[in-house]
Structure 1
């Protein structure tokens, strides 16, 4: 079986540093079930490909144990399976762990990568393959193989040649492959016990908790063993809850207290609603709706026919629902509203079909390495006609008396942008995904530092 990883990051030969495998050498590693060989079919500054060739010895697998013919004659030597996951963990262990002694800055750097699996069993078909990888931001290309080229009437097999294209840190790609290859194969070649839960959680850290197919992934990874599956899902649920909602609420209150003297939240809501109406948007999805501040305004306005709120935090959605219930709105108005749990860094079909998407004071909570995925989820896959994004203007922070110098407005903010930084990002995104963008200041503009909040309004160019 073959796994190749290609990059066009410059210089592309830095892939050798990340994998800890020199491009000029062909290396072999003994495994309990065969041999792993690493080599580079191409390696120059513009393009570099590393290939893992796994040579499985089926006789070695059953030596010393009672065996039947099926154990000798099967697809294991030819397809990507849990054997490949073990090989990745052993021969690419340093890269999988996210370590690089010579170029540590590369570890967290998103780089353009294409992973190709020559023969990948997809028990569940191409649809299930896409359900696993597309929410993670991959562009998936799959070629189905016939059962027998000589006899086309026999139909198609469950085997595919698959290419996965994405821009992300290499360690994340390897973690995704490590977990999802045996999930697609729906089998493991070794005994599955409690230690497999720890492996799943470790390699799924940062993405599995929010993945829309996490239950199917967990069940298949643990060979459908009910006790292990229940335990793993319970731990994933705990991690979800560890997204400390009570702490986030406290931080949100702190941010509101900072901005309260200038009634910035209300000014923001008024600006967003006015812009939505000017765009003619009847169906609106609020991505990162938190506790429903914007939703409460939209659902009370008969102009809007469909209002959807999305947030990764289940607790925030509960609070949003409680606050909406306290409005005592007529049933006809409430029927226009729905709340769904989801992450902005995972492709989700539920995000499509809206006239407008609002992303209000959200992007500053995202890690910058995840931005490329967020941009594709919103502007490429959901692709609403109008997108409204608001974010703090860090230049204005010096005007908040209650905010210490150098401190961001919210403890969970990963960054806050200047006006130039926000506009540069917005213009690049608009150009890449076929939108036009205009900017609007929210709040009173200071002649030196601008307005407290900045808003970008993206219009899709059809």
Structure 2
């Protein structure tokens, strides 16, 4: 048993099941509604009995989300010092949520969780069995199942519990935008219900919703549906990948390429808010990890996401973040096993591409370079993308497969690399994959 004192009450964690194959962690939250009112945290009308007569302490809403964020804080960041390989590996999970308020329709849980790759089973009951004419209760027990990273699904629950309820027990301030962005990294920007989630999580405060939407688009480099699941546009039969966001598939492809080249020291150039770094850091194979970006704000977000302030000196030596530009020489990324340029090159002005090639291939000279970029041919399959429009307003260009092959082949010849091309996402039979990868390997010296 573990007991935690929280602002909303007391949390208890215990383990009904534990063996070599399964572990069930149970979180029970006890809320003192009177004390909650006295603490002035409750959002309600002080002139009514709503403070005292309400369902908030007994429903799985924002109070349970606060408990998740406090009790499982380390797990939510994707860290496990004792078992890092488990934190970094997808697990088969089953999550039971009880007395969940459903404000927004019976299909709301499916709309929120199915795009995340989770199946939804919910049981609803009558408000009162003796008076069926009163109708159904607005509460349900929900069971979620799927294969996912534990930290990722905990962050999703942290956001989506108050969204299901469409209420929070505390006043929303500008800090909530940062909380939403941190918990939503890697999945919220591509979610089909992103607007609904942002509005409800931020208690419909328009100023905060607008700020969160703009920052999500900037940090995740994804303005909308054009960067979602790979064949949601084409309708191809792509198996399990069809329900996975494209940004997740890109990360998977990059990690697979790093494994193929046997990289142990890696630089994520143009790392942004640290989506890939957070996956690298939990893998003990990578002994040195460097993240660079031109945006100080993005690096600050990455540092928070990686929890650098709480790490040991040895861990901070392993993980380093630096402000830098991909078009300038940076000796801090020289001589590594691999440099990753994930969705970076299309943000560079075409006249600066020679400078990029020189700094990465000519001066840093890694053993391998992994580059991903949109496939412009696939854009016609996105119904919300007008003809000739780029997937992101900051893109300076988007290449066809032939254009990438031409540029990559010339750079490989110039700097002594060989290059292969890999699809990312489910390819269309004619137009190819939504994302294309170029994997460069340094040629052995004669």
Q: TM-score, normalised by structure 1?
A: 0.52
- For 1:67 and 1:36, how far apart are their aligned partners in 2? 30
Q: 2:30: which partner in 1?
A: 55
CA–CA separation in structure 1 for the residues paired with 2:144 and 2:165: 17
**Alignment equivalent of 1:196, drawn from 135, 157, 176:** 176
Distance change >3 Å, CA 408–CA 154, structure 1 → 2:
farther
1:96 to 2:168 alignment: no
Q: Which residue of 2 aligns with 1:115?
A: 95
Q: What secondary structure does 1:322 align onto?
A: coil
**Partner in structure 1 of residue 375 of structure 2:** 290
Q: What runs of 5+ residues in structure 1 fail to find an aligned partner?
A: 1-25, 258-287, 296-307, 324-338, 342-359, 362-391, 411-415, 427-441, 443-451, 453-462
Choose which of 158, 176, 197 in structure 2 pairs with 1:178: 158
CA distance in 2: counterparts of 1:220 and 1:309, whole angstroms:
31
Any idea what the Cα deviations from partners look like across 1:363-384, whole Å, max 9, x if unmatched? xxxxxxxxxxxxxxxxxxxxxx
Question: Residue in 1 aligned with 2:7?
Answer: 32
How many residues are matched?
277
Matching of residue 221 in structure 1 with residue 201 in structure 2 = yes
Structure 1 contact 54–84 (Cα < 8 Å) conserved: yes
> Residues of 1 paired with 2:345 and 2:108: CA distance?
32
Shift of 1:208: 0.8
Matched, 1:79 2:59: yes
Give, in whole Å, the separation in 1 of the partners of 2:150 and 2:194: 22
Confirm or deny: 8 A CA contact 1:85 1:177 kept in the other structure: yes
Q: Secondary structure at the match of 1:125?
A: coil
1:20-419 to 2 correspondences below 5 Å? 26-63=1-38, 68-241=48-221, 244=344, 246-247=346-347, 290-292=375-377, 309-310=381-382, 317=385, 321-322=387-388, 404-405=416-417, 409=420
Deviation of the 1:248 alpha carbon: 8.2
What is the SS of the residue equivalent to 2:106? Answer: helix
Instruction: Note closer, same or farther for the CA distance 1:119–1:63 as it changes in structure 2 (3 Å cut).
Output: same
Distance across 2 between alignment mates of 1:55 and 1:64:
16
The Cα RMSD (Å) is 4.1
Which blocks of at least 5 consecutive residues in structure 2 are unaligned? 41-45, 223-342, 358-372, 393-399, 427-431, 433-437, 439-446
Residues 119 and 161 of structure 1 are in contact (CA less than 8 Å); yes or no, is this contact kept in structure 2? yes
Q: Structure 1 pair 146/310, CA: closer, same or farther in 2 (3 Å)?
A: same
Identify the residue that residue 313 of structure 2 maps to in structure 1. none
- Per-residue deviation, 1:108: 1.8
Runs of 4+ displaced beyond 3 Å: 64-68, 240-245, 247-250, 400-405, 407-410
Give the direction of change, closer, same or farther, for the CA distance of 1:67–1:87 in structure 2 (3 Å limit).
farther
Contact 1:309 1:340 in 2 (8 A): no
Report the TM-score when normalising by structure 2: 0.54
SS of the residue 1:236 aligns to: helix
Q: Distance in 1 between matches of 2:348 and 2:106?
A: 39
- Report the CA distance between 1:36 and its aligned residue: 0.3
Report if aligned partners of 1:125, 1:158 keep a CA contact under 8 Å in 2. Answer: no
1:51/1:226 CA distance change after superposition, 3 Å: same
Closer, same or farther: CA 240–172 of 1 in aligned 2, 3 Å: closer
Question: Secondary structure at the residue paired with 2:96?
Answer: strand
